[in-house]
Chains A and B, each alone.
Chain A
Amino acid sequence: MTMTAEPTPATAPEAPSTTGVLDRVLKVRELAIAAVLVLMLTATQLDNSAFLSQQGIKDLLLNATILVLVAVGQAVVVITRNVDLSVGSVLGISAFAAGDLLHGGGNPVLAVLVAVALGAAFGVVNGLLVSLGQVPALVVTLGTLYIIRGLDSIWIGSRQITAADLPSGFTTFGHDGLGVVPYLALLTAVVLVAAAYFLRSYRSGRDLYALGSSPEAARLAGVPVRKRILGAYIVCGALAGLAGALYLARFGNVDSGTGNGYELTVVSAVVVGGVAFTGGSGSVYGAALGALLLTSINSVLPSIGVSSVWVQAIDGVLLLLAIAVDRVVALRVAGLLRKRAAQTRSAHHG
């Protein structure tokens, strides 16, 4: 939907006033999540003053980093009206690949690059299957999810990487940082800003929104559909791979079950963050906020002494709320667009 706010020359001329309103409506969506987050954290801090201690803030950021990375990648794919369910298994296999390399005495930087490259390679497979096969992404990536899990079991078997296999510098990188900001969070922030800038300011980034809003119109407007979808999946895979390497640094333990079921958490984060499943709207900042919100709930409940059995129910309520808000916003935006179209028409006639 934001796509229409930044038209290619072929479409209607600019209408600055309504564009401003549109932008504001969409920003409100992200502000709302941020407000909920701030409210929740403040309330917890009032209840338990140890919550936002130096260690507490560091933990909150560390808890969110891995999910944020994968959610950013997933958001890029969801914006194109597709989905990548294989991220959990890609994360697991990349984490093991990096661990295997480090276990053999490899260079940590190389290990991270290997994880990213492996993730990107699976992204290529997903992207080709979805774009060439013209098969629904849900089904294709469900298939690759199982295939990669299978490869995982065959390759890894009962082996596991434990903290003792990793160089101490690598695990230190997983929990140290500059003051209260962990290195992992810095890295994630860089990725987040870069992805957001790309989606906002590059033609190919805008193409992704066009594709998600209306695949047919995008194709007619000359958007290279297959190339863009392939690109989105590669980004998503590479970020899942990077997340795998960071998982290894943070948890220091990987086996063939790592990342099991993670895809659903990622999809919830993206949807709570306001990236619509119908494609074409939302931002990676929203997805990142959604991920931060979901992981923070898991930290807030134990901190105030509430049983963790409530976590899933709360996540579910948030999901439904997010979808409801999205629906309202979508109706409003549609209304605004109609108004603008009417204005444009009268401008032409006048």
Chain B
Amino acid sequence: MSLRTAPARRAAAAVVAVTALALTAAACGGTTKKSTDAANSSAPASSASANPSAASKKGLTIAYLPKQVNNPYFTISDNGGRKAVEALGEKYKEVGTNSGTDTAGQVSYVNTLTQQQVSAIAVSAQDPGALCTALNQARKNGVKVVTYDSDTNASCRDLFVSQASAEDLGRTEVQLMAKQIGGKGQIAILSAAQTATNQNTWIGYMKDELKKPEYKDIQLVKVAYGNDDAQTSFQQTQGLLQQYPNLKGIISPTTVGIKAAAQYLSGSRYKGKVQLTGLGTPNDMRAYVNNGTVQGFELWDPAKLGALAGYAAVALASGQITGAAGQSFTAGDLGSFTIGQDSVVVLGKPTVFDKSNIGQFNF
């Protein structure tokens, strides 16, 4: 699901950002990031300048185009978006493909939404480049484009709403694990596919965090790949435990991997002896937190992610922001957000779920 690929897009976006920055280095003074992008990519630059004090326009239609409909994660996040959009008095709609890999299907949905003249599209892109032509066509026709969860290339959208920075995710998972094993012992990572770019980015930050002196007693012994398949993740977990009898903990930065590992641990003699943390959803992990297999894990709140995308889309369509770095907008009860480098808004640090708070979350 989304966790697998999001930072892949972000990594790509970062590359684009670096290139763009290099190009604009001389012109930092007056040029906004946005106009550079437009110049580089023939993307339409919005001619109107931002007016932060403008009132939200009424009667806007905000269309959500998730990577996959019927995917529990996107259902939660889009429902969060619906609440935000409807609270502002605008119209919400959701369309999308049944498969998370039907990029051609996503392109044709973008084209349809453009023809329907929606005010803004909030899209979680299946591919960073494939949607670009269609999205820029939409922007030429006055449709604002916000990406959420998974970004496109930075030149094809007005704003990217990021769930959490890859760096935060990688580092906080190591911090959680260190706390659970008392800062000492062998640990392993159970990832998704070996080629999953986002997983590898997070793992890169985990390794970097482990270099800090306070983690000198923790050894990362192996990164295993469960391919986001229940049976494979089971068997990889078994292999880790057999290969490293002194293993103290496993970090699984994938929702499929962590729940499979938790299910295996809870039914084995390792329950409670080997710690498990990573990225998971409260509903998936509730049983294992309650039966003592897992102490704590983390994730962002997808409902808030969808809501933030909705607020950002309305702010864009109302002309309160254009997507340039440094502009800020209010997102209902989520507070105020400032647009960062490369037109990215970050939701915030991930939430840690444990026995004390898991009962309050239902997603």
Residues of A within 8 A of B (CB): 48, 50-51, 53, 55-56, 59, 63, 153, 156-160, 162-164, 166, 168, 171-172, 174-176, 250-253, 255-256, 295, 298-299, 301-305, 307-309
**Residue from B98, B239, B259 with most neighbouring chain A CB atoms (10 Å):** B239
Q: What are 8 contact pairs spanning A and B, CB under 8 A?
A: A50-B245, A55-B269, A162-B287, A163-B263, A164-B290, A256-B70, A302-B236, A308-B225
Q: Which of A156, A168, A252 contacts B263 (CB 8 A)?
A: A252
**How far is A51 from B240 in the complex, measured between Cα atoms in Å?**
11
- Within the complex, what minimum Cβ distance (angstroms) separates A333 from chain B? 35
Instruction: Determine the chain A residues whose CB is within 8 A of the CB of B348 once the complex forms.
Output: none
Q: B70 touching A302 by the CB < 8 A rule?
A: no
**How far is A153 from B230 in the complex, measured between Cα atoms in Å?**
19
Q: A158-B70, A253-B284 are in contact. Are A50 and B230 (CB under 8 A)?
A: no
Q: B243 touching A305 by the CB < 8 A rule?
A: yes
In the complex, whether B108 has a CB less than 8 A from a CB of chain A is no
Residues of B within 8 A of A (CB): 69-72, 74-75, 98, 194, 222, 224-225, 227, 230-232, 234-236, 238-243, 245, 259-260, 263, 266-270, 283-284, 286-288, 290-291
Q: A164-B286, A174-B267, A308-B232 are in contact. Are A302 and B238 (CB under 8 A)?
A: yes
Q: A298 touching B287 by the CB < 8 A rule?
A: no
- Within the complex, what minimum Cβ distance (angstroms) separates A236 from chain B? 21
Q: B72 touching A159 by the CB < 8 A rule?
A: yes
Q: A251-B260, A253-B263, A308-B227 are in contact. Are A59 and B232 (CB under 8 A)?
A: no
- Within the complex, what minimum Cβ distance (angstroms) separates B267 from chain A? 3
Instruction: Determine the chain B residues whose CB is within 8 A of the CB of A252 once the complex forms.
Output: 259, 263, 287
Q: Which of A55, A166, A255 contacts B268 (CB 8 A)?
A: A55
Q: A308 touching B236 by the CB < 8 A rule?
A: yes
Q: A175 touching B71 by the CB < 8 A rule?
A: no
**Residue from B69, B230, B238, B287 with most neighbouring chain A CB atoms (10 Å):** B238
Q: A163 touching B287 by the CB < 8 A rule?
A: yes
Instruction: Determine the chain A residues whose CB is within 8 A of the CB of B283 once the complex forms.
Output: 160, 162, 164
Q: A298 touching B231 by the CB < 8 A rule?
A: yes
Instruction: Determine the chain B residues whose CB is within 8 A of the CB of A307 once the complex forms.
Output: 194, 225
**How far is A171 from B243 in the complex, measured between Cα atoms in Å?**
26
**How far is A168 from B71 in the complex, measured between Cα atoms in Å?**
26
Q: Which of B74, B225, B284 contacts A162 (CB 8 A)?
A: B284
- Within the complex, what minimum Cβ distance (angstroms) separates A182 from chain B? 9
Instruction: Determine the chain B residues whose CB is within 8 A of the CB of A253 once the complex forms.
Output: 230, 259-260, 263, 284
Known A156-B70, A175-B266, A252-B287; 6 more pairs at CB < 8 Å? A53-B242, A163-B266, A255-B72, A295-B231, A298-B232, A308-B225
Q: Which of B242, B263, B267, B284 contacts A51 (CB 8 A)?
A: B242
Among residues of A, the one whose C-beta sits closest to the C-beta of B74 is A158
- Within the complex, what minimum Cβ distance (angstroms) separates A62 from chain B? 9
Q: A162-B286, A164-B286 are in contact. Are A63 and B71 (CB under 8 A)?
A: no
Q: A302 touching B72 by the CB < 8 A rule?
A: no
Instruction: Determine the chain B residues whose CB is within 8 A of the CB of A164 once the complex forms.
Output: 283, 286-287, 290
